[in-house]
Amino acid sequence: MPEVKNSYETVFILSTKLGEEGIAATVNKFKELIAAHGTIDNVDEWGKRRLAYPINKEEEGYYTLISFTSAPEFTAELDRVYNITDGVLRSLIVKKEKEAPSKPKAEEKKEA
């Protein structure tokens, strides 16, 4: 039976109290963990941003978005690691839906 792989996106917010080296080390830790259990498609470090509301009395956080492909079982392990890692303020893992082929714009205009 073929191994099932899904596409996911994860966003996590790190505390700025970790410092530049601590943030870089933590982001690298998550990249290595994801790469060990799947393939990383894209890493987008948004950097330091102001939070919409204070989390643990912090006003800013360091945002990182990672797109990856892995087995469905890995997401539970990744979430567990997020929860036990110091400095992670928030995290989210979302399964990306497979995109349906879109109609060319010329066909859309004819139907209208």
* 1-51 per-position pLDDT tens digit: 567 889 999 999 999 999 999 999 999 999 999 999 999 999 999 999 999
Domain assignment of residue 31, given as a range: 6-111
* Residue with the two structure tokens 């879109």: 102
CB neighbour class for 110 (10 Å; exposed up to 12, middle 13-18, buried from 19): exposed
64: domain CATH number is 3.30.70.60
Q: Mean of the pLDDT values across residues 72-80?
A: 93
pLDDT range class, residue 100, cuts 50, 70, 90: low
Q: With respect to residue 74, please indicate whether it lies within any of the assigned structural domains.
A: yes
Q: Determine the pLDDT at residue 108.
A: 57
User: Based on the structure, what is the number of domains in the chain?
Assistant: 1
Instruction: Report whether 40 contacts 31 (CB < 8 A).
Output: yes
11 is a domain residue: yes
Instruction: Indicate whether this model's pTM tops 0.75.
Output: yes
Predicted local confidence at residue 43, as pLDDT? 93
In a domain, 1, yes or no: no
Strands of 6-15's sheet in order across? 38-55, 58-70, 6-15, 88-95
Considering the domain boundaries, does residue 95 fall inside one?
A: yes
